[in-house]
A and B are shown apart, each in its own frame.
Chain A
Amino acid sequence: MNRSVDPKKVNSELFTLTYGALVVQLLNDLESVEDVNKHLDRMGYNIGVRLVEDFIARSSADKCYDLRETADKLQAAFRMYLGISPSIANWAPAGDEFSLMIDTNPLTEFVELPDTCSNMRYSAILPGMVRGACEMVHLEVSSWFVQDQLRGDPVTELRVKFIKRLEDSVPPGED
């Protein structure tokens, strides 16, 4: 093959299968779909907290003035790390809530949820990552799936809601 191979890039199927194996192993270990959802979210949070530094270093992103800019940054991050470009849609009238519409979710490429796991948030790692990354740049947000192709919806819709700005905290012992 003539294609130049970036040694740092991983084959997308390997990535998809790795994530799948992780989710199923979690399910085997925890034996509760609810716990798996929570676990995935927490893992996503921990990834997001780190990944945002990498994102800023690579894209030399600056601070955002408003949530629309934040939405653009999130979109760019999805492109950078997952190779997909979700569209931004469904802004709330107050401008504090929006959705990332994902046509093809690389995490779920081969996945079919068994009937026993119908309330599993298979891709719960994604909203966790959004939450973790935003928290590091002083935005408290909540994020969740409104629609999911795994549960038969036409698209996967990830909702992001702004809650409040976080201020720099003073370390203990300082005034």
Chain B
Amino acid sequence: MRNFLIFLAGAAALLALPHGLSFSQQEILVFLTINILLVSSYRLLTLTGEWSLGHVVIMGVGAYASALLSKKLGVYVPVSILLGGIISALLAVVLSFPLFRMKGFYFLIGSFAAGEIIRLLWKRFRDPFGGAKGIKGIDPMPDFSIGIYDFDFFEPVSYYYLSVVVVAACLWILWRIERSPVGLTFHAVHWQDKLAEASGVNLRAYRTLAFSIASGFAGISGGLLAHYIGTINPNSFDVEVMVFVLTWAIVGGTSTFYGPILGCIVLTVLNEIVLRELGFEQMRPLIYGAIMILSILFMPKGLESVVQKIFSRRAKP
């Protein structure tokens, strides 16, 4: 009953949230919701101990696939987003063959190289990827009505509601995976790889599984992004964007499920709302960088450690 009430309160808060925001903040909220799925899916990969520099490109694979399926083949947009996720996951399986011959730092560099190859392919093949200019005029999510509410997906509030439902469902699946025996094995692959291998765990298979699941959800986030802004290009998924994902994960912390989400929310609000509202429009990269350095110096375990401290103090008698 208590959990149900918490769920209801959370749902009501998410429902009411955009109505307390300005128009531009509603737009930022849509992108924040999509980025929460991106960074959460990234964390699943990090559970196995591997950090990738190609995750944003994999997100782009989902975005390109979904955009092309809906634009060229007339696939219904929600189906194309799902197919975009599946294509990203399948591509990750293919990439895993060369990439998981490497570990640690070498995997990091290998994933960067793989991502750059994909981005170069988008640029090189103007048909169908649109070259450097990318794809524009991507079909928007079709509007519909549920009687009490008309969903007009040009409006950020409508798209936020759609995104929040999709992202919540995806986060629930990611959560369940982490809590399942498969998720525990991911942890074992990271922390006790020799022991796990001795126990009969196929390390490479589990790394591939984590990589493909994480990529699938990243692909869905890419599809959500593409059908909202209506345009994508190779620069939308470059290493600069990947650095943002890394900083969300590092500043938030990756030992808990909510750590990267916290990092994403705090840094996005700081960069896109607080610093802009304070009039530091052009100094944002400088201030953002300084805050990041300070947070790493003084909170090496991430923002999640602050939350843990607060709750552990409350739990003490």
Same complex for A and B? Answer: no
